[in-house]
A = this chain, B = another copy of it.
Amino acid sequence: MNKVFEALASAARRKILAYLNQGELSAGEIAERFDFSKPALSAHLRILEEAGLITREKRGQFVFFRLVPERLANTVFAWAAELCPVARPLKREVRARRKPAG
């Protein structure tokens, strides 16, 4: 949980997640989309991976990365939903059932 929010504190890392949301990419393909050095990118990818937000798969010479949307759903999304009753149509039903006569 902590690692997830720390990972998301970087705009570059959030951008990486947005790219991966389109489909898997190799480290090199991600690197093309940014200005910083390969080691810098490697560090960002490690942080995202350790937060459980992406997975890594080595295929031959390349390393491909994929988004893990369930991880986001179970951490950030769920956390935000807890503090955003305004955006929570599902949970409202649950509440209504718990307090049937107000």
Main secondary structure of the interface of A (DSSP, over half): helix
In the complex, the count of this chain's copies comes to 2
CB of A84 closer than 8 Å to a CB of B:
yes
Residues of B within 8 A of A87 (CB): 73, 77, 90
How far does the alpha carbon of A9 sit from the alpha carbon of B79 in the complex, in Å? 13
**Contact call A80/B84, Cβ cutoff below 8 A:** no
Residues of B within 8 A of A40 (CB): none
| CB-contact partner of A2 in B11, B67, B86, B89, under 8 A | B11
Interface size class of A (residues with CB under 8 A): 20 to 34
The stretch among A13-21, A27-35, A55-63, A94-102 that forms the contact with chain B is A13-21
Q: Once the chains are docked, how many angstroms separate the CA of A67 from the CA of B85? A: 12
